[in-house]
């Protein structure tokens, strides 16, 4: 069932990334509340304009790397040195150097898996998640800005139009994204 | 926004804009497959089916169905394993190392190259597993508690390092590739015209929306994954080379093996990327994105790595002589002039001599020549592994145990089977997934087409790299302005760094 509910958001659609950046800068300067921007490719400068900080995923990667290294160390130590020592030609039972390849691979594996899982978790990305899509062309060739429709709604619309927005409309929240008509036609 | 020099060859040709990029890449996933696709897919299925038969035969009757003997314990199986692993190196090199070096030509080819990596590693993994004979005990590769008391794998062994290296490489490549796929799968989802299609691609795209916060993290994740994949890709073939280099067999016991194997892996990987893309770009009509310039850039890497491999062959010979160790000397003389001389000289011809033809620009820019030469490299690199493995083993320290190795139909069939398996996956990928990283190509679209000689939107066939400089219009306001923009519906507004206030 298609459920359509009007929200207090304005959707402004742009057809060029530089026009979009200019409009965003204006909107930020005027103190409008920009909820989100949807683009088909990463447009550098938006995050700076909106004051979004650089992600801390690098720290997550480092922590997972340390966990991976500790995992590798404990695995090799437990199996080769602690649990069942095998005398291989009288060689040492804790040959750290020959563990290096395994330690390295464990570090990389846990770093990659841990960091990517963190990324999916904080972005709330998972198989089967039904996204809220404001304009289907945001993954094609349009740049979509979602603004809060507060008391200055009319002013926001005008400023966006002046700054090159191709199209401005009220947002409608569609719970079932498919196969119903797109929000475009339902406004 | 940065602008490239006008004499630098555009990375995208033709009358292309953001929407046509989406159309061109998503199109093949939305239409019924072409006749060429069915033809190729059927052949791949036949190869795959024959492979299943041969693998089953081997499991039923054991390793005795192979041509191995007491002297030559590694033959086709390990040759194929190393060959496939080597092919699997180009994808991660393109997606990780070239990302760190900011080589933007990688953006059009990284998706398919990385898919190729994943399929090649799957093929590679089968050989050591089936070489065990008792495949049902394959889990004993892993450090798992088992039925035989507290008996663990030996972490001193390069063969166990291989297990870790290859499983890590496969997992990290898969994660890297799939994370990069999300935005493009979302593009396909948003174009879906049926509920079924929407549901499938929505499931696959994890609910990607293109939000600025997601992109912000996405780019950082890609960068870190590239950073950790770079040492990983170098480590994998290094560890594969340890399988040989840590032994005492003349011809194997060589300290230059790690760099030599890594260079060889990149060499053969790029050759396979060439083989696939020269065909795919034409059959899938992607010539505007995978241009002659892309093929040329890869040809240059092939020449470089091929020459490195050539130097390694020479160094091995020199070291054999210089070491004064007569068994080593014999091993190398036997390589070149023993009963397997034809394998050695095929290797030299295909790996060292023919890739040098890429010094000529005409050859480097001719898809037909590239295709033929890439096949030569694929063959040459297969022979390299055969030479190293079989020729080093067949005449060892004890002349009474010298032997010859002839593969059986089962071994040949298993090799054919993995080739079929590889192409089976590749055809499915080309049909159902975006073969070009759309978001990444869109990112460089404006930069690479602005201010170029005959402007952007140049038909590919009209581009002549020799004339690019003369054609470069230094007075082109778009170029000097460093603002970007041509009148194709985009970028009429110039971008300035200061915040715009009204």
Q: Report the alpha-carbon angle B22-B209-B230, nearest 5.
A: 75
A26, A95, A126 ranked by CB distance to B156: nearest: A95
Domain shared by A110 and A159, yes or no: no
Are B221 and A57 inside 8 Å of each other by CB?
yes
Report how many domains make up chain A. Answer: 2
Residue B492 half-sphere exposure toward CB, CA atoms < 13 A: 9
Residue B126 half-sphere exposure toward CB, CA atoms < 13 A: 25
- With b for 16 or more beta-carbon neighbours within 10 A and e for fewer, the A62-97 pattern comes to eebbeebbeebbebbbebbbeeeeeeeeeeeeeeee
- With b for 16 or more beta-carbon neighbours within 10 A and e for fewer, the B163-186 pattern comes to bbbbbbbbbbbbbbbebbbbbbbb
Find out whether A153 and A7 touch, Cβ atoms under 8 Å: no
Higher pLDDT, A152 or A5: A152
Residue B30 half-sphere exposure toward CB, CA atoms < 13 A: 16
- The minimum CA-CA distance between A5 and chain B, rounded to whole Å, is 20
* Residue with token string 């459920």: A3
pLDDT of residue B466: 61
Q: Report the alpha-carbon angle B189-B193-B198, nearest 5.
A: 35
Name chain A contacts of B1, Cβ cutoff 8 Å: 18
Least confident of A13-17, A99-103, B352-356: A13-17
Tokens of A103: 């330690």
The answer to the question of residue A185 being in a domain is no
- The minimum CA-CA distance between A34 and chain B, rounded to whole Å, is 11
Q: Is A172 helix (H, G, I), strand (E, B) or coil?
A: strand
Q: Between helices B106-131 and B158-190, what is the axis angle to 10°? A: 140
Can you tell me the distance from the alpha carbon of B94 to that of B243, in angstroms, rounded to the nearest whole number? 26
Domain shared by A19 and A36, yes or no: yes
pLDDT of residue B491: 39
* Residue with token string 């292309």: B16
Does ipTM surpass 0.90 in this model? no
The answer to the question of residue A130 being in a domain is no
Q: Assess B190–A contact: CB distance below 8 Å, yes or no.
A: yes
Can you tell me the distance from the alpha carbon of B289 to that of B109, in angstroms, rounded to the nearest whole number? 9
- Residue among A98, A119, A118, A109 nearest A68 (CA): A109
Q: Domain B67-142+152-407: what homologous superfamily? A: Formate dehydrogenase/DMSO reductase domain (1.20.1630.10)
B217, B219, B499 ranked by CB distance to A123: nearest: B217
**Domain that includes residue A67, residue range:** 57-123
Residues (pLDDT < 50) of chain B are 453-456, 470, 474-502
Higher pLDDT, A111 or A91: A111
pLDDT of residue B415: 94
- Residue among B141, B152, B88, B140 nearest B115 (CA): B88
The answer to the question of residue A181 being in a domain is no
Distances (CA, A) of B283 to A17, B25, B28, B107, B365: 32, 13, 10, 20, 18
A-facing residues of B in 422-461 (CB < 8 A) are 438-440, 442-443, 446
Domain boundaries along the sequence of chain B: 67-142+152-407
User: Residue A18 belongs to a domain with what CATH number?
Assistant: 3.30.70.120
Q: Which long-range contacts (CB under 8 A, 24 or more apart) does B138-145 make?
A: B143/A75, B143/A79
Can you tell me the distance from the alpha carbon of B435 to that of B25, in angstroms, rounded to the nearest whole number? 7
Domain shared by A66 and A117, yes or no: yes
Tokens of A104: 């390295």
Find out whether B464 and B453 touch, Cβ atoms under 8 Å: no
Burial class (CB in 10 A: 0-12, 13-18, 19+), A115: buried
What secondary structure letter does DSSP report for B435? S
Burial class (CB in 10 A: 0-12, 13-18, 19+), B32: exposed
- The minimum CA-CA distance between A127 and chain B, rounded to whole Å, is 4
- Residue among B103, B497, B79, B32 nearest A22 (CA): B497
Domain shared by A67 and A90, yes or no: yes
Q: Does the structure show a pLDDT above 70 at A143?
A: yes
Are A39 and B212 inside 8 Å of each other by CB?
yes
Q: Is the dihedral of CA B11, B16, B22, B25 positive or negative?
A: negative
Are B212 and A88 inside 8 Å of each other by CB?
no
The answer for residues whose C-beta is within 8 angstroms of residue B108's C-beta and 6 or more apart is B11, B12, B286, B289, B290, B291, B294, B436, B437, B441
Domain shared by A14 and A69, yes or no: no
Domain shared by A47 and A65, yes or no: no
pLDDT of residue B445: 81
Domain shared by A140 and A164, yes or no: yes
Q: Is the dihedral of CA B192, B196, B201, B203 positive or negative?
A: positive
Q: pLDDT-based confidence at A10, cuts 50/70/90?
A: confident
Q: Which of A40, A68, A129 to mutate to test the interface with B (most CBs of B within 10 A)?
A: A40
Average pLDDT taken over every residue of chain A: 83
What secondary structure letter does DSSP report for B146? B
pLDDT of residue B454: 44
Instruction: Read off the pLDDT of residues A48-88 as tens digits, 9 standing for 90 and up.
Output: 888 888 888 999 999 999 999 999 999 999 888 888 887 87
Instruction: Read off the pLDDT of residues A17-26 as tens digits, 9 standing for 90 and up.
Output: 888 888 888 8
Domain shared by A63 and A94, yes or no: yes
Are A129 and B151 inside 8 Å of each other by CB?
no
Name chain B contacts of A138, Cβ cutoff 8 Å: 190, 209-210
Domain shared by A25 and A70, yes or no: no
Residue A174, beta-bridge partner list: A4
Distances (CA, A) of B217 to A53, A127, B444: 10, 18, 19
- Residue among A120, A112, A74 nearest B233 (CA): A112
Find out whether B430 and B285 touch, Cβ atoms under 8 Å: no
Are A86 and B154 inside 8 Å of each other by CB?
yes
pLDDT of residue A182: 43
Q: Report the alpha-carbon angle B96-B102-B108, nearest 5.
A: 70
State the pairing for strand pair A4-14/A167-174: antiparallel
Find out whether B273 and B393 touch, Cβ atoms under 8 Å: no
Residue of B nearest to A51 (CA): B213
Q: What is the pTM of this model?
A: 0.88
Q: Is A174 helix (H, G, I), strand (E, B) or coil?
A: strand
Domain shared by A67 and A118, yes or no: yes
């Amino acid at each position: 069932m298609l459920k359509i509910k009007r929200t207090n958001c304005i959707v402004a659609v742009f057809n060029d990334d530089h026009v979009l950046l200019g409009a965003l800068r204006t909107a930020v300067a005027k103190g409008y509340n920009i909820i989100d921007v949807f683009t088909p490719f990463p447009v550098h400068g938006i995050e700076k304009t909106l004051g979004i900080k650089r992600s801390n995923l690098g720290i997550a990667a480092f922590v997972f790397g340390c966990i991976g290294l500790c995992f590798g160390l404990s695995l090799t130590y437990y199996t080769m040195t602690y649990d069942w020592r095998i005398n291989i030609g009288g060689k040492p039972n804790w040959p750290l150097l020959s563990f290096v390849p395994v330690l390295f691979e464990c570090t990389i594996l846990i770093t990659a898996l841990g960091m990517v899982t963190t990324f999916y978790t904080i972005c709330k990305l998972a198989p089967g998640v039904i996204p809220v899509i404001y304009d289907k062309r945001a993954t094609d060739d349009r740049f979509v800005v979602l603004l809060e429709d507060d008391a200055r709604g009319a002013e926001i619309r005008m400023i966006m139009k002046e700054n090159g927005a191709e199209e401005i409309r009220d947002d409608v929240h569609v719970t079932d994204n498919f196969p119903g008509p797109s929000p475009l036609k339902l406004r | 926004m940065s602008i490239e020099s006008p004499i630098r060859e555009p990375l995208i040709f033709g009358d292309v804009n953001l929407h046509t990029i989406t159309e061109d890449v998503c199109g093949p996933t939305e239409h019924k497959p072409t006749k060429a696709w069915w033809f190729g897919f059927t052949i791949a299925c036949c190869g795959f089916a024959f492979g299943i038969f041969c693998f089953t035969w081997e499991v039923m009757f054991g390793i005795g169905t192979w041509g191995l003997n007491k002297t030559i314990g590694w033959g086709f199986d390990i040759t194929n394993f190393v060959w496939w692993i080597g092919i699997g190196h180009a994808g991660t090199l393109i997606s990780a190392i070239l990302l760190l070096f900011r080589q933007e030509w990688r953006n059009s080819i990284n998706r398919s190259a990385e898919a190729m990596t994943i399929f090649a590693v799957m093929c590679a993994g089968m050989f050591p597993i089936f070489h065990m004979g008792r495949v049902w005990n394959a889990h004993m590769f892993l450090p798992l508690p088992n039925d035989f008391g507290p008996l663990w794998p030996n972490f001193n062994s390069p063969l166990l390092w291989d297990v870790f290296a290859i499983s890590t490489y496969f997992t990290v490549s898969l994660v890297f590739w799939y994370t990069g796929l999300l935005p493009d799968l979302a593009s396909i989802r948003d174009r879906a015209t049926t509920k079924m299609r929407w549901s499938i691609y929505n499931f696959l795209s994890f609910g990607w929306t293109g939000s600025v916060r997601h992109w912000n993290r996405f780019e950082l994740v890609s960068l870190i994954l590239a950073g950790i994949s770079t040492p990983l890709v170098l480590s994998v073939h290094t560890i594969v080379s340890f399988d040989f280099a840590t032994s005492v067999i003349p011809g194997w016991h060589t300290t230059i093996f790690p760099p030599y194997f890594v260079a060889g892996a990149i060499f053969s990987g790029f050759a396979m990327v060439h083989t696939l893309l020269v065909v795919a770009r034409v059959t899938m009509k992607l010539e505007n994105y995978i241009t002659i310039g892309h093929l040329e850039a890869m040809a240059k890497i092939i020449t470089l790595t091929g020459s490195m491999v050539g130097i390694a062959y020479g160094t091995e010979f020199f070291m054999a002589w210089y070491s004064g160790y007569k068994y080593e000397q014999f091993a190398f003389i036997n390589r070149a002039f023993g009963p397997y001389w034809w394998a050695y000289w095929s290797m030299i011809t295909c790996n060292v001599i023919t890739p040098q033809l890429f010094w000529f620009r005409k050859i480097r820019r001719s898809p037909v020549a590239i295709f033929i030469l890439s096949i030569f490299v694929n063959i040459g690199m297969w022979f390299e592994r055969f030479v190293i493995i079989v020729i080093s083993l067949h005449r060892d320290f004890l002349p009474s145990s010298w032997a010859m190795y002839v593969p059986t139909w089962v071994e040949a069939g298993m090799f054919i089977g993995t080739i079929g398996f590889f192409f089976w996956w590749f055809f499915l990928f080309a049909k159902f997934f975006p073969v070009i990283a759309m978001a990444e190509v869109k990112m460089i679209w404006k930069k690479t087409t602005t201010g170029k000689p005959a402007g952007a939107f140049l038909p590919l066939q009209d581009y002549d790299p020799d004339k690019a400089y003369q054609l470069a219009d230094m007075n082109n306001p778009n170029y000097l302005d460093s603002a970007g923009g041509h009148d194709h519906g985009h970028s009429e507004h110039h971008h300035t760094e200061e915040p715009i206030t009204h």
